[in-house]
Structure 1
Amino acid sequence: MKYGLVLLLCFCLQLAAFAQNGSIEGRITTSEGEPAGFVNVYLKEAGKGTASSENGNYTLKNVKPGNYTLITSLIGLQTQEKTVAVEPGKVTNLDFTLSESSQKLSEVQVIARRTQNDRPVAVGKMAVRPMDMPQSMAVVGTEVITEQQASKLSDVIKNVNGVALGTTRGTTSETFFARGYNLGANNIMKNGARSNSAVIPEASTLERVEVLKGSAALLYGNVSGGAVINMVTKQPKYEFGGEISMRAGSYNLYKPLVDIYGPISQKLAFRVIGTYETAGSYRKNIESERLYVNPSLLYKISNRTDILLQADYLKHDLTPDFGVGSLADTILNTKVGRSATFNTPWAYNNVAQTNASLSVNHQFNETWKLNFIAARQDFDRNYFSTERIQALANGNWGRKLTRSKIAEDYYNSQLNLNGAFKTGALEHTVLVGADAERYMNITNGFNVLGLRKGGVYDSINVFDPNRFEARTDLPETTNITRTETPTYRYGVFAQDLISISEKFKVLAGLRWSYQEAAQAKIYDLEKDTVTTGAKAKYDQAFSPRVGLVYQPSAATSVFASYSNNFTTNAGTDIYGNNLKPSIIDQYEVGVKNDLIKGRLSANVTIYRILNNDLAQMARFDKDGKENANANFKEFTGQTTSDGAEIDLNGTLLPGLNFLAGYSYNFMRYTKTPGNKGSYKEGERLVNNPAHTGNASLFYTFSTDKLKGLKVGVSGFYTGARNAGWNNTYGQTQQFSRLIKVDGFTTFDLTAGYTYKQISLLAKMSNITNELNYYVHENYSVNPIAPRQFVTTVSYKF
């Protein structure tokens, strides 16, 4: 305890010392009144500096009182100097106006604004501009995350066209679909390492979210073909500062947040972010409580080497919510209100997740860089709830229960070498890497006492709560089994971006992946015995990638590419042999443009994804008889996913920022044999809307009378889609298993005001009070949120 008090006293003394210092802030604009972003700002005598943000603002904090020379510089600009006097505890304002000619300023603005096509993304593992890569990418930055007051990953991802939100059983986590494919745990990353997708990530503290569309198998191995999502957390800074905020909203939402960063020494910097959230819901008896802490340390060993240590801890307790369910398996239950719930009063889903990662970056010279990442994740989920709301047409439903306890222990390491060299007239930008993963899944089986025949807890009627007397007691459970299932993955890859000339580039790469699903150990906790599960399964595959980039001008890029990824298959062939992985081919062409002197990025992509190795139930067994075992499969099918995507974003006028997008996707079964158990040809796959769209517009006033005022509007469209299950030939259910779900559009309005270090931001979401549903299969039918209000007040220091 006394050491804690000493540390607290030292921290307070340091804060007091910081309070005696001053700060400098200002705005850098052009002579035409436009913001000048990414301009270097250097305080000569103090030996410290920063860079202006995209809107031209800059801040230098923790400056000792005195007289200084402030220098601004950027390639293409004349260096400017101004003297400034810093007073204790005060903020000194100093603006700069760039007075060069219009032609020169235009050139500067292209550099300073750095469009989305010009900023490399960490998820791509190469410091190469997206303009030079034959692949579609998207980034949602901290400004959008803050302006939209995002809390969940889905709040951020809805700004990325072509990625649609789905749901999971009981809404205990979020799931996404891109280009027709489910983005599971293999496709969700945090700081470049895989992250468990069975929990709703905390998004309010993220620096940005990167999306690499299409196949990323060369970089990450066994991922689906839709996209890879990378969450990037905020990093330490070598200047003291931070933010304290409080968010409150409809249905008893309260969310305080603290973010503090600064130097510990000349080479060591820290950052600590923490937030706590408690919330009710528009759904009756649904509650949520979250605690999130994210500490990090950055140590610069030298000018060439740095070490970044990051960790976070998330504890999330929520009530499982299966929504309003379905009737007779194929009818959405829209006869009850948006708030109706049918779970027990004691149901719970308690999750704890811990992440830790170490990243080492070493710059050998100007052209060669080595990056090493080691990450560890622990995940625990304790769950007990009713299950699968599948009522009869009259509303009667026999409630069953699910009791589960899951733990995951995940380790990932990767080594990435980036470099550049020449062979004659050809310029090479290369990436060589290797990665290894170990994944341990632990599941527990329970015996639930006091249930009726068939495992039924009780019966209720979703229309008339008085028809039956519902139980409210918490049944006893006994943990009877524990199953430990390890998985191992390894991979090596190489990629080369070859510049043939200023206008032509060729990308070529190859990856080899190996995966072992090891034999499970099954512990019988009642008999105290150990048995083993099915024999180990081994898979390996090559993943090639090739692309061509043609740049007719510095602001336009045309590309075409081919890549593939693989997915492992469960089941066996008719002789009992494990199935090989399915190889999925993707073809993509597109155009990337930076228009209006870099103020507008406009990208268009068209793709086709083919799975020619779709494993389906085998028609005949090894004896030539009609097969009735769904575990026996054969490669007799195909799926085809065709689509197009349009991305727009930029700053057309000073202070006017926008992003927008539209996507179309048609994923269907294109070749099926028509035998029992195979899918029906031409049928669109479930959970994939044909059309999605998004648009957000934010304007920050810069006139003296309205300076600090910000307004914004956002709209999001999800098209019609199929829920339920896809139909198969010879299915026992004679009518269609599909559930048609209509499309919907929601609109949000935002307004905010910033005065010095204090800001207030408010948002009204779903202003038209639109009602629609996210559906998992045919039993978790969850209404979207109604009109809600949320506001955040923050203080930056």
Structure 2
Amino acid sequence: MKKIFTCFFNVILLLVSLTGISYAQSRNGSVSGAIKTSDGNPASFVSVGLKNTSKTTQSDEKGNFTLKNVSPGNYVLKISAIGVSAQEKNVSVVAGENTEVSLSIAESSSQLDEVAINGYKTPNKKPVNLGKIAIAPMDLPQAVQIIGNQVITDQQANRLSDVLKNVNGVAYGENRGSVSGETFFARGYSLGTNNVFKNGSRASSGGMPETSTLESVEILKGSAALLYGGVTGGAVVNMVTKKPKFEYGGEVSMRAGSYDMYKPTADIYGPISKKLAFRLIGTYEDAASFRNSVKSNRIYVNPSLLYKISDKTDILLQGDYLKSDMTPDFGIGTVENQIVDIGRGTFVNAPWAYNKTNTATSQLNINHKFSDNWKLNVLANFQSYNRNYFSAERPFADTKVASNPLPYGFAARNVTRSKTKEFTYNEQINLNGFFKTGSVTHTLLVGADADQSRTTSGGFTFNNNLATFNYGNVNLLDPATYFGSGIEPAANMITQTFAPLYRMGTFAQDLVSITDQFKVLAGVRYTFQKTPRTVSTNLASGVQTLSVNSLNKSKVESAFTPKFGLIYQPLKTTSIYASYASNFIQNTGTDINFAPLDPSTVDQYEAGIKNDLFKGRLSVNLTVYRIANDKFAQQAPLNAQGAPNGDANIKELNGKTLSDGLELDITGTIVKGLNFIAGYSYNYIRYTQTRDKTVYTVPEPTPAQPNATRTVTLGGIIEGQRLVGSTKNTANGTLFYTFQEGSVKGLKLGASAYYTGARNGGYNDSKIQTYSRLIPLSAFTTFDFSAGYSWKKLSLLAKISNITNELNYFVHENYSVNPIPPRQFMTTLSYKF
């Protein structure tokens, strides 16, 4: 594959060079420049055009624009946008030269943000921070979706799952214990911690990050391995926090809802000097739950400073702190591998269970512009995450009494005690440039990054040095047994384990515009990852022990991950693309000789079409894809001694999976004040090759018969069966309308519908099972309705969610069964100043 890609890439470069020479003698000129707001900030996504011609474009996120291949002559340059006063300026274009123009609009940056509430900026024209370079999604051979602040505010989103349910192709999977971090699946692949970012750096999702105060959430679907190492192939998610402004303003609000939910928020920003601005956001949340005995208490603070050293250099310093205390809740459990309706609010965990997390982040972001065409970004990020957890674990009952055909529903409640400290460091440097070879345009991105994490976790014993402790069996069918003794067992930390991880990489990417219609994106990344052996310390003796594997050394992995895409744009409003990308996924566990497993290489093929209709007021994007993993890790059937392997951490790389899918994304504002998002996704990820059913003869000597043997039948997962946790179909639709005039001016009405298709919990079936451990889950749809009113600086917004009171479940593979929330009410009162 590497040789094919290298040859193909060289051919493309040759064609590019030849094309550049043939077009080098262009007789047309160009017009470029920058548009700024009245307070000196970039005016992004403003329409720019030459009157009485077809030459139009939009300013990018930095306010820059370029009109290429303009015939020599005199023109009138016009800039316009919804809610912005139109501006005109005379320009002259000379053959073979570029005419530079500087323009400003009468509106400030905050006013430009305000008109975006009723206006619409096509997402196909807005570059995402995750891309590390200002390339509009229309020019990317990859599906992109942005959920902006207006949607987050209108829907009164509190958690990341509230935001991502608007993203087709990303499905909520489960939340193990309701506190360990929400889990999502994209294109069949689980999005772990490595796939969730904040302002471009990896972020822990363990404390469930605060999303109600975000500026936007960006989703880059498919493989992002070229730009970020160590990610799975489904998608990457970036949470973008709000930034300082050079004008005074802010907002205070109070959110209240069902089950004693209260959440005040304050947001204030402004200049400290002509070059220094600040922003401070804080929120406090106190809430109970529809789940009995479940509570949450959260404090979030997000300060930031922006220092504009000059027109070419700025420094952004951001930080945030989240203290999140939440009750662990594994739901209602299962009886005989079946969900039994014992009540939506039934709580069967220990009454003293707790989960306390503290997450602190600091980030330094330096941007320097060498010229209008060459820019440098340097980013350094530090995050600490502490977790203090004590709880009984998931309940699953499978005991029957022979004399009674009905299950009794008894389940053990073994406890888990953990204390974890995690420190992560991320450094990035990205250089991007815009240049030409003849008439061929290059948008180049070159970068390097490094991640380090240092995790320390404790090992505990209980009461009188017991390795395990059962809080007491619970009968899931008998509420009298739920509370138990109410006594929290004593837990003593006896060991600490230190686990470091180092990852670094470098990459290069070039978007080559051969013509205005035909473009090529090509790039490659090299990733190096080192996982040293863990160090365990006995706290009583101080003795340290290194983890053991067959090599007795660190696990080292490296890989080249290429990406290649073709883009054809027959119209400025239409883009057709096809792309190939690969990434490697780290595998946990060892082989039968306790050597670390090699990574799995995943190949992704994607094709799509992106359309902007009605002058950009409606965007309709369609994507199809295939993702193949030819080295899927699965449990080894036999250990090194030839005996049946019962250790799930001992694996082999002989499986294959295939994920096929389709995604439809629709967003827009057809008329002023009417905003909507809609989408549909289909995914079929399944096992395509696993171990056949095989009978083994293994030794089983006894003193009387030293050569005795026995037979063991082993087999892999059933081929064609969908992977547990993945969702076949999802769909979403949200519509908000704000009345623009008359006696009802300021009235806002909104409705949302979310469809989650059939899926499976439990465990996938193997070829030798006599009964299934799958937990089939039916499809369900929930409906939300919102209504609000804005008057001058005051606004009130209310929402009823799950209007039909639909009942369904999300199930962790280990039987953590969590009912979806019932009908609830939420309202937010806010004041802007």
Do Structure 1 and Structure 2 share a fold, with TM-score over 0.5?
Answer: yes
Q: Which residue of 2 aligns with 1:641?
A: 659
In 1, are the aligned partners of 2:350 and 2:471 still within 8 Å (CA)?
Answer: no
RMSD: 2.4
* Distance (Å, rounded) in 2 between the aligned partners of 1:621 and 1:768: 52
- State how 1:159-178 maps to structure 2 within 5 Å: 159-172=166-179, 173-178=181-186
* Distance (Å, rounded) in 2 between the aligned partners of 1:789 and 1:345: 27
Q: Which residue of 2 aligns with 1:792?
A: 828
- State how 1:408-557 maps to structure 2 within 5 Å: 408-449=422-463, 455-466=469-480, 470-534=484-548, 535-557=553-575
Letter of the 1:530 partner, please give it: Q
Deviation of the 1:169 alpha carbon:
2.1
In 2, are the aligned partners of 1:291 and 1:314 still within 8 Å (CA)?
Answer: yes
Q: Which residue of 1 aligns with 2:72?
A: none
* Distance (Å, rounded) in 2 between the aligned partners of 1:494 and 1:141: 29
* Distance (Å, rounded) in 1 between the aligned partners of 2:483 and 2:744: 60
In 2, are the aligned partners of 1:617 and 1:677 still within 8 Å (CA)?
Answer: no
1:347 is the counterpart of 2:353: yes
Letter of the 1:139 partner, please give it: I
1:375 is the counterpart of 2:413: no
Instruction: Please list the CA deviations of residues 567-623 of structure 1 after superposition, one character each: whole Å capped at 9, or x if unmatched.
Output: 112333445543221100000000000012211100000000000111234456667
1:563 is the counterpart of 2:571: no
* Distance (Å, rounded) in 2 between the aligned partners of 1:577 and 1:400: 31
Give unmatched runs, 5+ long, in structure 2: 1-33, 48-76, 90-105, 109-115, 399-406, 694-713
In 2, are the aligned partners of 1:326 and 1:778 still within 8 Å (CA)?
Answer: no
Deviation of the 1:628 alpha carbon:
6.3
- State how 1:186-585 maps to structure 2 within 5 Å: 186-328=194-336, 330-334=337-341, 336-392=342-398, 393-449=407-463, 455-466=469-480, 470-534=484-548, 535-585=553-603
Q: Which residue of 2 aligns with 1:659?
A: 677
* Distance (Å, rounded) in 1 between the aligned partners of 2:408 and 2:240: 49
* Distance (Å, rounded) in 2 between the aligned partners of 1:140 and 1:536: 41
Letter of the 2:719 partner, please give it: E
In 2, are the aligned partners of 1:516 and 1:539 still within 8 Å (CA)?
Answer: yes
* Distance (Å, rounded) in 2 between the aligned partners of 1:640 and 1:164: 18
In 2, are the aligned partners of 1:452 and 1:458 still within 8 Å (CA)?
Answer: no
* Distance (Å, rounded) in 2 between the aligned partners of 1:654 and 1:424: 43
Residue 147 (structure 1) aligned to one of 144, 154, 160 = 154
In 2, are the aligned partners of 1:325 and 1:779 still within 8 Å (CA)?
Answer: yes
Normalising to structure 1: TM-score of the pair? 0.86
SS at match of 2:123: coil
Instruction: Please list the CA deviations of residues 465-516 of structure 1 after superposition, one character each: whole Å capped at 9, or x if unmatched.
Output: 3368821011111110100000000100000111111111011100000101
* Distance (Å, rounded) in 1 between the aligned partners of 2:45 and 2:659: 40
SS at match of 1:455: coil
In 2, are the aligned partners of 1:54 and 1:113 still within 8 Å (CA)?
Answer: no
Residue 119 (structure 1) aligned to one of 126, 132, 137 = 126
Instruction: Please list the CA deviations of residues 147-170 of structure 1 after superposition, one character each: whole Å capped at 9, or x if unmatched.
Output: 000111111110001100122321
Inter-CA distance 632–131: structure 2 relative to 1 (3 Å threshold)? same
Inter-CA distance 708–678: structure 2 relative to 1 (3 Å threshold)? same
1:74 is the counterpart of 2:110: no
SS at match of 1:156: helix
* Distance (Å, rounded) in 1 between the aligned partners of 2:482 and 2:304: 54
Inter-CA distance 248–632: structure 2 relative to 1 (3 Å threshold)? closer
In 1, are the aligned partners of 2:411 and 2:473 still within 8 Å (CA)?
Answer: yes
* Distance (Å, rounded) in 2 between the aligned partners of 1:453 and 1:261: 53
Q: Which residue of 2 aligns with 1:601?
A: 619
SS at match of 1:218: coil
Q: Which residue of 2 aligns with 1:134?
A: 141
Deviation of the 1:452 alpha carbon:
8.9
In 2, are the aligned partners of 1:747 and 1:766 still within 8 Å (CA)?
Answer: yes
Inter-CA distance 75–145: structure 2 relative to 1 (3 Å threshold)? closer
SS at match of 1:693: strand
Deviation of the 1:53 alpha carbon:
9.9
Residue 760 (structure 1) aligned to one of 796, 806, 817 = 796
Q: Which residue of 2 aligns with 1:6?
A: none
Letter of the 1:710 partner, please give it: K
Count of residues paired in the alignment:
710
In 2, are the aligned partners of 1:616 and 1:677 still within 8 Å (CA)?
Answer: no
1:707 is the counterpart of 2:745: yes
Residue 725 (structure 1) aligned to one of 735, 757, 763 = 763
SS at match of 1:652: coil
Inter-CA distance 450–712: structure 2 relative to 1 (3 Å threshold)? farther
Letter of the 1:548 partner, please give it: L
Instruction: Please list the CA deviations of residues 342-394 of structure 1 after superposition, one character each: whole Å capped at 9, or x if unmatched.
Output: 11221100000000000000011011110011000000000011111112332
Letter of the 1:697 partner, please give it: L
- State how 1:100-111 maps to structure 2 within 5 Å: none
Letter of the 1:693 partner, please give it: A
In 1, are the aligned partners of 2:461 and 2:468 still within 8 Å (CA)?
Answer: no
Instruction: Please list the CA deviations of residues 382-416 of structure 1 after superposition, one character each: whole Å capped at 9, or x if unmatched.
Output: 00111111123322222211111111000000001
1:739 is the counterpart of 2:805: no
* Distance (Å, rounded) in 1 between the aligned partners of 2:645 and 2:293: 47
Identity %: 54
Instruction: Please list the CA deviations of residues 647-702 of structure 1 after superposition, one character each: whole Å capped at 9, or x if unmatched.
Output: 00001111111010000000000112314352221110011111000000000101
Higher mean alpha-carbon deviation, 281-290 vs 667-676, is at 667-676
Instruction: Please list the CA deviations of residues 699-754 of structure 1 after superposition, one character each: whole Å capped at 9, or x if unmatched.
Output: 010112111111000000100101011123445xx311211011110000001100
Q: Which residue of 1 aligns with 2:102?
A: none
Q: Which residue of 1 aligns with 2:14?
A: none
* Distance (Å, rounded) in 1 between the aligned partners of 2:645 and 2:802: 50
SS at match of 1:558: strand
Letter of the 2:599 partner, please give it: P
In 1, are the aligned partners of 2:259 and 2:290 still within 8 Å (CA)?
Answer: yes
Inter-CA distance 668–205: structure 2 relative to 1 (3 Å threshold)? same
SS at match of 1:664: strand
Residue 193 (structure 2) aligned to one of 185, 205, 210 = 185
Deviation of the 1:49 alpha carbon:
7.4
* Distance (Å, rounded) in 2 between the aligned partners of 1:252 and 1:620: 54
Deviation of the 1:536 alpha carbon:
1.4
Deviation of the 1:42 alpha carbon:
5.8
Instruction: Please list the CA deviations of residues 183-213 of structure 1 after superposition, one character each: whole Å capped at 9, or x if unmatched.
Output: 0000000000000121211001000000000
In 2, are the aligned partners of 1:695 and 1:714 still within 8 Å (CA)?
Answer: yes
SS at match of 1:197: coil
SS at match of 1:713: strand
